[in-house]
Amino acid sequence: GNSVTQMEGPVTLSEEAFLTINCTYTATGYPSLFWYVQYPGEGLQLLLKATKADDKGSNKGFEATYRKETTSFHLEKGSVQVSDSAVYFCALSGSSSARQLTFGSGTQLTVLP
Amino acid sequence: NAGVTQTPKFRVLKTGQSMTLLCAQDMNHEYMYWYRQDPGMGLRLIHYSVGEGTTAKGEVPDGYNVSRLKKQNFLLGLESAAPSQTSVYFCASIRRGATLNEQFFGPGTRLTVL
């Protein structure tokens, strides 16, 4: 079955530091890959997405590249801000007709001023 | 549009009590999902529905029941709550014809079972 393995947290960084959150996946076929973000007290919001190999998703300064050869979709940001403090989830969508998502365990990011 | 809403936001139950969580969406989405979120485990799918009147089991369905009598509503029921069901519950929805599997999430319900 499908699975997503995500870098364990929590991660604490100083403002303007470089961020990497690792995500690898196992899936049959060609899944779509997502990063969702959950701000304190809120539901999940889509941060970025990629649908095929070598696609780069980007949003709000965050980037992730769909690497089929390494089955990875690592999240990066060159300079984090305090407002980026949140929980980040890597997810995949496989070939299920019910369009189910499989999530990683989530990574708590705290950015200190 | 309100998007996806969930009722209630918080609830405390005693073991053995029952309750129903309501999810409503105003986007005319066909597919709806219930997830639970537990520390270190991400989101796990409880049940889902691909249309009015249809439901199916997800990864962790035991102890829960669901109903989808109206297209816009998806109810999650706990008949006899257990402490293991203490969690944050999220509802999500997506349009059947969406080109990408971007699910839209509600704000969550925090449930504590004592």
Q: Which of A32, A43, A105 sits opposite B101 (nearest CB)?
A: A32
**B66 neighbors B76 (Cβ within 8 angstroms):** yes
CA of B1 vs chain A CAs: smallest distance (Å): 16
Q: Cis omega before residue B8 (within 30°)? A: yes
In the predicted structure, residue A33 carries a pLDDT above the cut 80: yes
Question: Over the stretch B13-22, which tens digit does the pLDDT of each residue have?
Answer: 999 999 999 9
Please give the pLDDT value at position A28. Answer: 83
pLDDT score, position A100:
84
Q: How far apart are CA B89 and CA B81, in angstroms?
A: 14
State how far Cα A34 lies from the chain centre: 6
Show residues of chain A in contact with B57, CB under 8 Å.
Answer: none
CA A73 to centroid of chain Cα atoms: 7
What are the beta bridge partners of residue B42?
Answer: B38
What does the pLDDT look like over B54-112, one tens digit per residue? Answer: 999 999 999 999 999 999 999 999 999 999 999 999 999 998 877 777 889 999 999 99
Q: Which amino acid is at A16?
A: E
pLDDT, one tens digit per residue, over A42-64 is: 889 999 999 999 999 999 999 99
Residue A101 with chain B: CB contacts under 8 Å: 43, 45, 101, 103
pLDDT tens digits for range B25-49? 999 999 999 999 998 888 999 999 9
Nearest to A7 by CA among A64, A78, A81: A64
Tokens 């504590």 belong to residue: B112
- What span, in angstroms and rounded, lies between the C-alpha atoms of A56 and A1? 25
Query: What residues of A are in contact with residue B50 (Cβ under 8 Å)?
Result: 97-98
Structure tokens at A5: 């393995």
Say whether B105 and A6 touch across the interface (CB within 8 A).
no
Interface of A with B in 31-90 (CB under 8 A): 32, 34, 36, 41-46, 49, 51, 89
